[in-house]
Amino acid sequence: MNETPYQQLESRFRRLNALGEAEAVLHWDMSAIMPRGGAEARAEQLSQLKAVRHGLLCAAETGELLAAAEADAGGLDAWQKANLREIRRGWTKAMVLPEDLVVALSKACSACETVWRTARPEADFAAVAAPLEAVLALTIEAGQAKAEKLGLSIYDALLDDYEPDGRSADIDAVFADLESFLPDFLGAVLEAQAARPEAIMPEGPFPEAKQKALGVKFMEALGFDFDHGRLDISLHPFCGGTPDDVRITTRYDEADFTSSLMGVLHETGHALYERGLPKQWRGQPVGDALGMSLHESQSLLVEMQVCRSQGFLNYAAPIIRDAFGGKGDAWQTDNLHALYTQVAPGFIRVDADEVTYPAHVILRYQMERALLEGDMKIPDIPAAWNEGMQRLLGLTPPSDREGCLQDLHWYDGAWGYFPTYTLGAMTAAQLFDAAKRADTSIEPGIAEGDFKALFQWLSTHVHAKGSLMSAKALLIEATGKPLDAGIFKTHLKTRYLS
């Protein structure tokens, strides 16, 4: 039986997806366990995989099948039509990029990331400046090609890769609102916090093995399936791999278990979203996650909305005490809750509290726009970073390790990603608010270590939707309204001023 053009497209995209998944696992291996000497060979492997995928996507036959499928779309169901829409979106962007640019950008990112892994612990921005120059130049070249095709600014064209249909004008309005709200709110929170007993940090050391065992325990409680995933170590925590083989990484500090534990829970939120994507659409664009704001909402919903709540700490505190044999006031539930909701401006984004976190994102957003638009140069980054931290948080990093070298994103070519963190935090607050209103058993369940009701709601309203609809439409369908900053602000006021 002859396949229709649409069916042939699905077959082609199953192959493209398999190649992409192989690339994802190789990238996890490079970040987690690959010996340093393998970097050059791995860069070549990744670039060639990208070239093969790009060639298959941009082949004349793909365009012909796409046009034929669109011309005969009347018999397709809603999911198939959405899949065709997402195929067109990806194909349009890929067609403007020559293969040699795709390969060159891949190699530049791999080379820069390799240098960054040494430069970061040594606080040596000068060592990575030249590789980063190469990444930025190629990113601008690719961004300009996409921008011209899509009729967008270069920033919006790159943002669209992470946040489909996202626009900087909308982000500017949201961030301006937060910039005006947060300084006074932070002052009020710090004043309220000073009136309460000071949180006590339990004394270590906290052996890495015990920290990992504790993280695994909570991952399993949340529903992570270790038959379809792993927990490992990397310089920068992330969630990678594939929906059927999810790879989480974290980093450990034996003097402080609190950061790595919340990092693991954050990445578990990402992993559970990946695992919950619609199985019947594996291998097709419509079965993929719906942009990074929604992805970050799932990690921040788990970490911030759930796992820093009083209810969760009521359940978790005895488990944490038992894991480390802790005794005394520092290990009591109220103190652990105070630790996990403590607000204090700090240098490191991934360790930041909910109140100060948006400032970290705003800084990166402002800087990457300036760099992409030519208003800032690579050598300007350290000074501009330090000035921005002083302006937004009243802090100057002691070195570039705690400053502009802390995040992997730019060094690995992820330009346009950063705004999705704060958009994700706002989305998380809105989704969790809607879930609690829809099912009153969710919060009592969390306090007992039972997360089934929460994830049933998320599966129905978020995970199982894949990329069937736009992020805006999904949020309206799930919560009854588009993104509403007021819900995020209400959450902050309730948690930190009540």
Angle at 452 between CA 450 and CA 458, to 5 degrees: 130
Please answer whether residues 135 and 114 qualify as being in contact, where contact means their C-beta atoms are separated by less than 8 angstroms.
no
415 sits in which H/E element: none
Dist. CA 29–CA 25, nearest whole Å: 6
Nearest to 115 by CA among 456, 412, 486, 468: 412
23 catalytic per annotation: no
Cα–Cα distance, 360 to 351 (Å, whole number): 11
| Nearest-angstrom CA–CA distance, 84 and 445 | 40
Phi first, then psi, for residue 248 (nearest 5°) are -100, 140
> Can you tell me the distance from the alpha carbon of 204 to that of 91, in angstroms, rounded to the nearest whole number?
53
At what angle are helices 357-372 and 168-194 packed, to 10 degrees?
Answer: 150
Q: For 30, phi and psi rounded to 5 degrees?
A: -60, -35
Rounded to an integer, what distance in angstroms lies between the CA atom of residue 170 and that of residue 146?
20
CA–CA gap between residue 160 and residue 100 (Å, rounded): 22
The active-site residue, picked from 23, 86, 113, 267, is: 267
Angle at which helix 291-300 crosses helix 419-438, to 10 degrees, equals: 60
Distance CA 322, CA 299 (A): 26
Closest CA to 480 of 461, 493, 466, 494: 461
Give me the active site residues, please.
267
